[in-house]
Structure 1
Amino acid sequence: MNRLEAFGYIAAQAARGEITLPTSVNAALRLQLALDNPDCHIEDAIKLVLGEPQLAARTVALANSAAFNRNGDASITNVRAAVMRVGYRSLQTLVASLVVRQFGMRIVDPVLRAKAEQLWEHTAHVAALAQVLARRVTFVNPDTAMFAAIVHEVGGFYLLSRADEFPGLLDDDPEKWAELCEEVVSREVLKKLSIPETVTQAILALRDGWLTMPPSTLLDTLLLANQFAPVHSPLGVPDEPLPDHADSVLDFVIDNDTLQAILDESADEVKSMSAALLV
C-alpha cells in the first residue's frame, strides 16, 4: 500500500467513525463523563482521579503550579486538596491531556515517538499560554482556552499513532498529511472524544485562521498561543512568526512593551503549568 492509499484508508476509517482509542483512555473518558454531570459529587470525582495514577499526579502538580498557588501557600500533597483547589473545569482539562498523551505513548517507532514527544511539549506550552492570553488579552474563558489548547493537536497524535502501521506514511509530505489531519481525522477524533462544538470549530479553523482585531475569540487565543509558544509543532508547515509590532495591526490593540510585560510576568506561570502538564 503506497502513501496515498494509506492516507485514503485512514481517512475513510475516520469518516466512518472507526477511531481506535487506547485502552487506558476509557477510564479517563468515564471521569470526563462524570464531571460533565452537574450532580457529580466531589467524593466521586476524587475516587475517579485516584483510580488513574497519572491523572492523580498531574492534578497535584497543577494545584501546586503558579497558576493555582499565586500566594505561595504550602504545597498540596494529596488528591482531595488538589481537586478542591483546581476545580472541576481544570480537572476536565487534565483528563483531556491524559487522553491526548495516551495516543503518543503507544507509538513504537523511535522517530515517530520523538515527534510525539515534541508535539506534546508544544501542546503543553500552548495550553499554558492560552490560559494566560485568555485572561489578559482576549478575555475568553481561561479554562475553555486551556482545554481547547490541550486537544488542538489530537488529530496529529492520532495520525502519529497510526503511522506505526504504515512505514514512511509521514515522510517528506508534511503539508499533505497536515491537511488530511485537520480536514478529516481531527474532526472525527474530536467527535469521538465528545469535544464541545464551539471548541471543535475553533480548532478546525486554526490552519487557515486569521487574527481578528481586537483579538477576542477562542480562535484568536489559540492562534496567539501557537505563535508565542517556544516549542513549535513538528507537524505540517512550520508556524510563521508574528510580524514585529511596528508592522502589525496587533499594535493597535496592545503595544509591544505591554505585550512583552505580559509575557515576562507570566513566564513563571507558563513554565510551572507546562511542567505540571508534562508530568
Structure 2
Amino acid sequence: MDRLEIFKSIAAEVNRGDIVFPTNVEASLKLQRILDDPDCHIDTAAKLIMADPLLSARTVAIANSAAYRRSTSEITHVRLAVNRLGFRTLKAMLAAVIVRQLNSKVKDPVLKHKADRLWEHSAHVSSLAQVIAKQVTRVDPETAMFAGIVHEIGGFYLISRAEEFPGLLDGEPEIWIEYGERMIGRGIMRQLNIPESVMNAVEAMWHGVCAFPPESLGDTLILANDIAPVLSPLHDVDREYNKRFARRLNFDTEDSSFQIIMDEQEEQIDTLATALMM
C-alpha cells in the first residue's frame, strides 16, 4: 500500500468512527463529558482533576500564569485553581492533556521528537491566540486558546499511527495537507466533539486567508500560527522567506500597533505557553 492509499485508508477509518484511543485518552474523554454537565459542581471538578497528577499540575500552573493571575497571592491547590480558571478554561486544559496522550505509546525516538516539537508549537499558538483574541480581534480568548490547542489534532493522531506505517509522514506535502490535515484532522475533531466554531476556525487556518486587520476566530488562529516561535515539524515552512508572516507584523489596531501589543504581552504569552508545555 503506497503512502496515498495509507492516508485514504486512515481517513476512511476516522470518518467511520473506527478510532481506538489509548486507555488514558478514554479516561480523559470521560472526565470531559462530566465537566460538560451543567450540574457538575466545582468540588466535583476539583476532585476529578486531582485524580490526574498531570492535569492537576497544569491547572495550578496556568492559574498562576500572568494570563490568569489577578493578585500577588499564589494559588497552591487545585480547588482554588479551578475557582480562578472556571470550567471553560478547565476543558481547554483537558483538551491539552488529551492531545498529549494521543502519542503516549509512541516509542520511535524520531516520532517522539516530532510529537514533542508539535506540542511545543501548539502551546505557543494557543498562548498567542489567547492574547491576540483579548487584545486585537476581541473574540472570546478562552475559545481562541482552545482552538490553538487542538489545531494540529490530526497531526498528533497520525504520529500515533506512524509506527504502523514507516515513512507515513515523509514525502510530498500536498498529500499531508489534503489528507493529514483536512480529512483526518476534521474527522478527529468530530470524534472529539470539538465545537463547530472551533472546527471552522481550524479549517480557515488550513486555507490561510486572513482579513487585515484580523477580526474573526479563524484570523486569530492564522496569525498565532504564523508568528509562533516554534514551527510545526509537519510543515515545510522557511520563515525567512515567508512574506505573509512578515506582513502580519505590520498593521495597526484601534489602540496600538500589533508588534507593540505583542511586546507588552510577552510575559503573559511566555508563562501560559510554559504552563501548557508541562
Q: TM-score range by the shorter chain?
A: over 0.9
Contact 1:122 1:229 in 2 (8 A): yes
Q: Which amino acid aligns with 1:179?
A: E
> Match of 1:19?
19
> Match of 1:88?
87
- How do 1:72-87 residues align onto structure 2 when only pairs under 5 Å count? 73-87=72-86
How far residue 146 of structure 1 moved from its aligned partner, in angstroms, is 0.3
Contact 1:127 1:145 in 2 (8 A): yes
CA distance in 1, matches of 2:83, 2:249: 41
**Is 2:130 the counterpart of 1:131?**
yes
- Structure 1 spans left out of the alignment, 5+ residues: none
CA distance in 1, matches of 2:44, 2:26: 17
Q: Which amino acid aligns with 1:62?
A: I
> Match of 1:52?
52
Pick closer, same or farther for the CA change 1:22–1:237 going to 2, 3 Å.
same
Identical pairs, percent: 50
> Match of 1:114?
113
Q: Which amino acid aligns with 2:226?
A: Q
CA distance in 2, matches of 1:19, 1:254: 46
- How do 1:186-225 residues align onto structure 2 when only pairs under 5 Å count? 186-225=185-224
- Structure 2 spans left out of the alignment, 5+ residues: none
CA distance in 2, matches of 1:213, 1:244: 13
**Is 2:269 the counterpart of 1:267?**
no
Q: Deviations over 1:172-223 (max 9, x none)?
A: 2233123212221111100111111111111122111311133111000001
How far residue 119 of structure 1 moved from its aligned partner, in angstroms, is 0.5
How far residue 264 of structure 1 moved from its aligned partner, in angstroms, is 1.1
CA distance in 2, matches of 1:111, 1:134: 34
CA distance in 2, matches of 1:243, 1:8: 31
> Match of 1:242?
244
CA distance in 1, matches of 2:265, 2:253: 19
CA distance in 2, matches of 1:149, 1:179: 20
Q: Which amino acid aligns with 1:251?
A: F
How much is the aligned-residue C-alpha RMSD, in angstroms? 1.9
CA distance in 2, matches of 1:202, 1:15: 20
Normalising by structure 1, report the TM-score: 0.92
Pick closer, same or farther for the CA change 1:58–1:243 going to 2, 3 Å.
closer
Which has the larger displacement, 262-271 or 30-39?
30-39
CA distance in 1, matches of 2:251, 2:5: 46
> Match of 2:62?
62
> Match of 1:161?
160
Q: Which amino acid aligns with 1:83?
A: V
Contact 1:65 1:272 in 2 (8 A): yes
How far residue 252 of structure 1 moved from its aligned partner, in angstroms, is 5.6
CA distance in 2, matches of 1:244, 1:54: 37
Q: Deviations over 1:131-156 (max 9, x none)?
A: 00000100000000001110110011
Contact 1:178 1:235 in 2 (8 A): no
Contact 2:213 2:251 in 1 (8 A): no
Pick closer, same or farther for the CA change 1:194–1:21 going to 2, 3 Å.
same
SS in 2 for 1:224: helix
SS in 1 for 2:164: coil
Pick closer, same or farther for the CA change 1:8–1:267 going to 2, 3 Å.
same
Count residues with an aligned counterpart. 275
CA distance in 1, matches of 2:2, 2:257: 51
Q: Which amino acid aligns with 2:65?
A: S
